[in-house]
Amino acid sequence: MGSTGVSVYTPGQVVEETGFSLDTLRYYERIGLLEPIGRNAAGQRRFTQQDVGWLGMLRCLRGTGMPIAEMLRFAELTRAGDHTVRERIELLEAHDRRVEEQVDHLREQQVAIRNKINYYHSVVG
């Protein structure tokens, strides 16, 4: 391990790691998607490994189109403790099904787009 026993991340490092913008990180904290992030003496955020891990989860959910409101629910369930694990499973499984539908849907429409492309190719020869 380095000079610090525990890994902490500056906002800049978290931006780097997660791909969220600094404004988005602050926004997520404000609305309660993140628990209040620890601060150093100067009041600057210091993210823990855990925070970064959680952000990874959020990125996954957002990236697959989960609305903020539902992520918020997931965050609350997570904070509420172990007795909510079943609910979290349900939430994620429902989301997983939606992702599956999204993929199917995209594939279907892709076929139509490709048909159009082929048609155009046949027009220009």
How many residues interact with a copy of itself (rule CB under 8 A)? 32
CA distance 9 to 30: 19
Rounded to whole angstroms, the Cα distance separating 26 from 47 reads: 12
Distance CA 22, CA 13 (A): 10
Applying the rule CB under 8 A, the residues between 55 and 84 that interact with a copy of itself are 57, 60-61, 63-64, 82
Q: Where are the alpha helices (DSSP H) in 1-125?
A: 11-18, 22-31, 49-63, 68-80, 85-124
Using CB under 7 A as the criterion, what x/- string covers residues 48-77 for binding DNA? --------------x----xxx--------
DSSP element (H, E) containing 45: none
Q: Which residues bind DNA (CB under 7 A)?
A: 10-13, 15, 21-24, 26-27, 39, 41-45, 62, 67-69
Binding site for a copy of itself (CB under 8 A): 57, 60-61, 63-64, 82, 85-86, 88-89, 92-93, 95-96, 99-100, 102-103, 105-107, 109-110, 112-114, 116-117, 120-121, 123-124
